[in-house]
Chains A and B, each alone.
Chain A
Amino acid sequence: MFKTFPKGGIHPPENKLTADKPTAILPVPAQVTVPVSQHIGAPATPVVEKGAVVRAGQLIAQAKGFVSANIHSPVSGKVSKIDTVVDTTGYKQTAIVIDVEGDEWVETVDRSAGLVKDITLSREQIIERCQQCGLVGLGGATFPTHIKLTVPAGKKCDMVIINGVECEPYLTSDHRLMLEKGAEVLTGVSIIKKALGVESVIIGIEANKPDAISNLTELAKGFEGITVQPLKVKYPQGGEKQLIKACTGREVPSGGLPLDVGVVVQNVGTAFAVYEAVQKNKPLVERVVTVTGKSVKNPGNFQVRIGTPVSALIEAAGGMPDDTGKVVNGGPMMGKALAITDVPVTKGTSGIILFPAEESKRAEVLPCIRCGKCSSACAMGLEPWLISALSQKGMFEKAEQERITDCMECGACAYICPAKRPLLDYIRLGKATVIRMARERITK
């Protein structure tokens, strides 16, 4: 039977327009812009100078400290400048701009297509390799993978869950990966399993991807300790805490991490990246991005080098439709709207969605009628109407008591609200303020 989380959730239209579009390889662009911060944690420090000749896979920015990630050149060519650019978040940061010449890779990278199934590296070597290759979580949070694979002293991990839910509407990059690279993904899963020293792994996939479920279920017979768990189609099924609850029945405590219940969650995209890093010694320099939208001429899934301009991706999908009013980096529920498309694809870019102008503006805001639909939709058991009103009125202590920091910002409340109230905007404001207040309390 399909499992799911017990409370809340919504059913936005799925609009998986590109589910049957095989991943196309996007040609290497003439120039790439590689930001030095594509992960949670400290930005990496550039280790190349202007004018340096680099090859694809070469380290160009070194991780700064443990919570950081290496950055490698996704192309071969010449560093034309190291400059400040606007990235997908809209903020400015340092980036290494490389003019592409040919496509030469460093020799250590195994570029052959064959599947390498035997895992020869030890646990320590696996984690070290992930760190060297600049792996980060590809589900959206871009948390450095080597940290997640290192269980801190005093904690225990007995279960790994692989997130193949892809519950965001429109996005299909994980879906295609599970179909096209199933064996590689499962090998990556086995590597993660070995690194964490656990016996069993559950891959959670939403029931709207029956082909991916059957493909991985079939392939999983050739691997040990991997089960595929079909999940009910319900947003936010892919939320980390919801996924753990659905697959294991365990409930991550408020303010806690999955490790508090002995679980580590990794995305399927990350599992594939782990495979490539460990078995092929390939750093994270490319990923699959869904480019989609109702008016887009050729929506599709594209394998693309990091640093490629988003505008080039949009061109590959048939160009930006005339009616475009909003471009979203990520999913429609949690993604970020782009102000310009001349920004580079980064490790965390899972999709580019182009919304027509009439779908790009918010509806008129009406008074709250206390229908309670937001409370029913909240998968965390919060009362969005209340915590948003408390934040709006500046009553942050009260908002903290109502557990505003439990909010994962999935947007289900703002989606369902019939009065179209900007619930999540205020909750974000309150959450940030409450977290700041809590920090100040600790430092005092």
Chain B
Amino acid sequence: MSNILNVSPSPHRQSAETTRKLMYGVVIALLPALATSIWFFGMGAIIVTLVSVFACVATEYIIQKFILKTKPSISDGSAVVTGLLLAFNVPSNLPVYIIIIGAIVSIGVAKMTFGGLGNNPFNPALVGRVFMLISFPVQMTSWPLPQGFNTGYADAVTGATPLAIMSEGIKNGETVSALMEKVPTHLQLFYGYMGGSMGEIAAAALILGGIYLVWRKIITWHIPVTILLTVAAFTGILWGVDPTKYADPLFHLLTGGIMLGAIFMATDYVTSPMTAKGMVIYGIGIGVITVLIRVWGAYPEGVSFAILIMNAFVPLLNMYIKPKRFGKEVKRG
């Protein structure tokens, strides 16, 4: 008998699921929304996406190879996901140098300084986005209007997002019903015909991606459903109180970054709670903060801030919300 046998403790089987497969599963789930963005924003969407993904992967590689001098782990796919999500969170005419700065902040500051994959407290793509929003407020809020491949990149025709139109209008004393005339119809909002960040516009495509994520068991329903229900309930109450001052819940669900945030940003494994109960609390928090910012805040949109704020509570939620243990605890002598 010549075989040399491997010996290791049980279990002797491991599932076929790997970190890489999960990450590329997220990439697949983002494809319908990416296709929609390219359909509405043309070349700009392609340029922004390619630059963002490349810059994120390159930043991670350079930091690991030359600064940390460790084996680069870019093949795990997490930098690709961050790059895609970062691109989804910016206008499709954003200048290349700003995207690169955003990518360096996302990966370099928000992810690698904390120890890389699995250790970052805040969602890297959102940290990058908020950094860009504060540093380059003009470029980050000039939204190209959807004109397909005629949209152009540097010379795109820009305008306000439906949420911004609504928010500005209400502050100026206009009624919601009058403002509704100035924004796309709910159906148009549903398939994504509106100005906005590259990947946030297409509710239908994002929901399709979300269904894929749940079907592939990459995420559970808890976070997205709780966020969307909370937003719907909160805005629904406001709308019920005074429909002339507050937009209807469906409008809130179909505009801004709520779909992208609820399905793809808030569900990031590393920065979200690990128990179902924790996820529900986290989701309610995001929904409430989003509506607070949208309705009473200085910014027309608040999903990014809401998620980042709730990211900060995740360690607490993980510490205090425990799964239901099997069997009562018995004190023994």
Residues on A lying within 8 angstroms of B by beta carbon are 7, 10, 12-13, 90, 169, 241, 245, 251-256, 260, 311, 320, 322, 324-328, 330, 332-341, 353, 355, 357, 360-363, 366-373, 375, 378-383, 385, 403, 406, 409, 411-412, 414-420, 424-425, 428
Task: Using CB atoms and an 8 Å cutoff, list the residues of chain B in contact with chain A.
Answer: 1, 3, 5-15, 17-19, 21-22, 73, 76, 78, 116-119, 269-270, 272-275, 322-330, 332
Q: A372, B325: Cβ atoms under 8 Å? A: no
Interfacial chain B residues near A416, Cβ < 8 Å: 15, 17
Bound complex: CA of A322 vs CA of B324, how far in Å? 47
Q: Are B22 and A381 in contact (CB under 8 A)?
A: no
Inter-subunit contact A406/B119 (CB<8 Å): no
Tell me, rounded to whole Å, the shortest Cβ–Cβ distance linking B293 to chain A. Answer: 26
Question: CB-CB < 8 A to B5: which residues of A?
Answer: 324-327, 337-341, 360
Q: How far is the CB of B281 from chain A (nearest CB, A)?
A: 14
Known: A255-B330, A416-B15. A403 touches B7 (CB 8 A): no
Residue among A337, A338, A357 with the highest chain B CB neighbour number at 10 A: A337
Q: Find the residue from A336, A340, A419 having the highest chain B CB count within 10 A.
A: A419
Instruction: Other than A255-B330, A424-B9, give 11 A-B pairs with Cβ distance below 8 A.
Output: A320-B1, A339-B7, A366-B73, A369-B118, A378-B323, A380-B327, A382-B323, A383-B274, A415-B13, A420-B18, A425-B9
| A369 contacts B117, C-beta separation under 8 Å | yes
Q: A375 to B14, Cβ gap below 8 A?
A: no
Residues of A within 8 A of B78 (CB): 369
Which B residues are in CB contact (< 8 Å) with A370?
A: 118, 269-270, 272, 274
Name the one of B8, B270, B325 contacting A337, with C-beta atoms under 8 angstroms.
B8
Complex contacts, A367 vs chain B, CB 8 Å: 116-119
> How many A-B contacts if CB must be within 8 Å?
171
Contacts of B117 in A (CB 8 A): 366-367, 369
Contact A320 B329 (CB under 8 A): no
Are A372 and B274 neighbours in the complex by a CB distance under 8 Å?
yes
Q: List 6 A-B contacts (CB under 8 A).
A: A245-B326, A333-B10, A366-B73, A369-B270, A378-B323, A403-B329
A206 to B191, CA, bound (A): 47
A362 / chain B contacts, CB cutoff of 8 Å: 8, 14
**Is the beta-carbon distance between B327 and A251 smaller than 8 angstroms?**
yes
- Give every chain B residue within 8 A of A424 (Cβ-Cβ): 9-11
**Do most interface residues of chain A lie in helix, strand or loop, or is the interface mixed?**
loop
Residues on B with beta carbons closer than 8 Å to the beta carbon of A373: 17
Residue of A nearest to B73 (CB): A366
Docked complex Cα distance between A278 and B250 (Å) = 73
Known: A326-B12, A411-B11. A381 touches B326 (CB 8 A): yes
A251 CB contacts on chain B under 8 angstroms? 326-328
Is A337's CB under 8 angstroms from B19's CB? no
CA distance A7 to B18 in the complex (A): 23
Q: What residues of A have a CB within 8 angstroms of the CB of B10 in the complex?
A: 328, 330, 332-337, 409, 411, 424
A13's nearest neighbour on chain B, judged by CB, is: B13
* Contact (A371, B22) CB under 8 Å given A326-B12, A411-B10, A415-B11: yes
Q: Hey, which chain A residues are within 8 Å of B15, CB to CB?
A: 10, 12, 415-418
Q: Closest residue of chain B to A256, judged by CB?
A: B330
Considering the complex, give the chain B residue whose CB is closest to the CB of A319.
B1
Minimal beta-carbon separation of A423 from chain B (angstroms): 10
The closest CB in chain A to the CB of B333 belongs to A442
CA distance A374 to B15 in the complex (A): 12
CB pair A252–B327 under 8 Å, yes or no, is yes
Task: Evaluate contact between A418 and B22: CB separation under 8 angstroms.
Answer: yes
Residues of B within 8 A of A403 (CB): 325, 329
- List B contacts of A363 (CB < 8 A): 14, 18
Chain B residues contacting A253 (CB-CB under 8 Å) are 327-330
Given A7-B323, A326-B5, answer yes or no on A420-B14 (Cβ-Cβ < 8 Å): yes
Whole-angstrom CA separation of A213 from B69 in the bound complex: 59
Q: What distance in Å separates the Cβ of B183 from its nearest Cβ neighbour in chain A?
A: 38
Query: Contact at B12–A383, with CB atoms within 8 Å?
Result: no
User: Please, how many angstroms separate the alpha-carbon atoms of A428 and B8 in the complex?
Assistant: 13
A254 touches B328 (CB 8 A): yes
Contact residues in A for B21 (Cβ distance below 8 Å): 418
